[in-house]
C-alpha cells in the first residue's frame, strides 16, 4: 500500500554541547499524512530523527559525514541513538499526524555509532559539566607526551588555567577560561599547532 507523506518539518534546535556527557537534543515540528494516523505518526518520528540527529551533532562531529551516515541508516538504527522523546501540541486525524517532537540523543550510543562509521567527533562521555565561562578543547597528540608537555608549558607560561578532563592514548580533553581563549590560540599557533573552532568547542592538532 502506498503511503503518502506531505507538508513540512520545521526545526527548533536546542543543542547543549559545552558539557562532557552533554545533552544533545532537538525539537522538530512535524505534520505528516499517511494511510492512517498510526502510520503517519511512525513516519513523523522517523523523519524527526533524521533531521534532529544531524543538527544536534553539528557542533561535535563532521557534519557532512553525519548527513551521509544518517541518510544511509535504517530507521531502527537511528532509533537506537535516542534516549528520550517527548511530544507537545499533538494533533491527528484519520490520516494525519502533527506534533512538536523533542528527542535527546544517548551520548554513549551516539559516540559508538559515530566511531563505527569512522566519523570524526568530539563527544566526550566522561567528567562533569563545564562551567559557562570555560571553553572545551579536544586535543590530538602527534608526538605523545612531548606534545602534551609543550601544551602544559605554553599554558603555564601564559598564565592560562588549563584543566585536564579526559586522557586516552593520543587524545586529551581540557577546558580553559573562555576569556583566555585568544591568548591560548595565539600561543599554540606560534608553536606550530593547528586548531578549528566548532561553535565554541576547540579541536587542536599538529
Residues of the chain with pLDDT > 90, as a percent, come to: 57
22-57 per-position pLDDT tens digit: 578 999 999 999 999 999 999 999 999 999 999 898
Give the CATH architecture of domain 134-205: 2-Layer Sandwich (3.30)
The closest alpha carbon to 181, from 163, 160, 153, belongs to: 160
Prediction pTM value: 0.62
- Mean pLDDT calculated for residue range 15-25: 51
Domain ranges for the chain: 9-116, 134-205
Alpha-helical runs (H) found in the chain: 37-56, 63-72, 75-79, 107-116, 145-157, 181-190
Distances in Å between the Cα of 124 and the Cα atoms of 85, 167, 189, 190, 198 are 22, 10, 24, 27, 15
Amino acid at each position: 500500500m502506498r503511503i503518502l507523506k506531505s507538508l513540512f518539518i520545521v526545526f527548533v534546535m536546542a543543542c547543549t554541547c559545552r558539557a562532557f556527557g552533554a545533552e544533545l537534543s532537538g525539537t522538530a515540528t512535524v505534520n505528516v499524512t499517511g494511510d492512517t494516523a498510526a502510520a503517519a505518526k511512525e513516519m513523523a518520528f522517523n523523519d524527526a530523527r533524521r533531521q534532529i540527529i544531524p543538527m544536534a551533532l553539528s557542533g561535535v562531529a563532521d557534519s557532512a559525514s553525519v548527513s551521509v551516515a544518517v541518510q544511509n541508516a535504517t530507521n531502527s538504527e537511528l532509533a537506537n541513538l535516542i534516549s528520550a522523546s517527548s511530544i507537545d501540541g499533538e494533533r491527528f486525524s484519520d490520516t494525519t499526524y502533527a506534533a512538536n517532537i523533542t528527542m535527546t540523543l544517548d551520548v554513549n550510543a551516539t559516540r559508538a555509532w559515530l566511531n563505527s562509521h569512522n566519523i570524526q567527533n568530539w563527544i566526550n562521555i566522561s567528567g562533569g559539566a563545564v562551567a559557562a565561562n570555560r571553553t572545551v578543547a579536544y586535543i590530538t597528540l602527534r608526538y605523545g607526551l612531548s606534545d602534551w608537555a609543550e601544551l602544559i608549558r605554553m599554558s603555564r607560561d601564559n598564565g592560562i588555567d588549563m584543566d585536564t578532563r579526559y586522557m586516552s592514548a593520543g587524545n586529551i580533553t581540557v577546558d580553559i577560561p573562555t576569556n583566555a581563549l585568544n591568548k591560548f590560540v595565539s600561543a599554540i599557533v606560534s608553536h606550530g599547532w593547528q586548531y578549528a573552532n566548532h561553535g565554541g568547542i576547540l579541536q587542536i592538532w599538529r
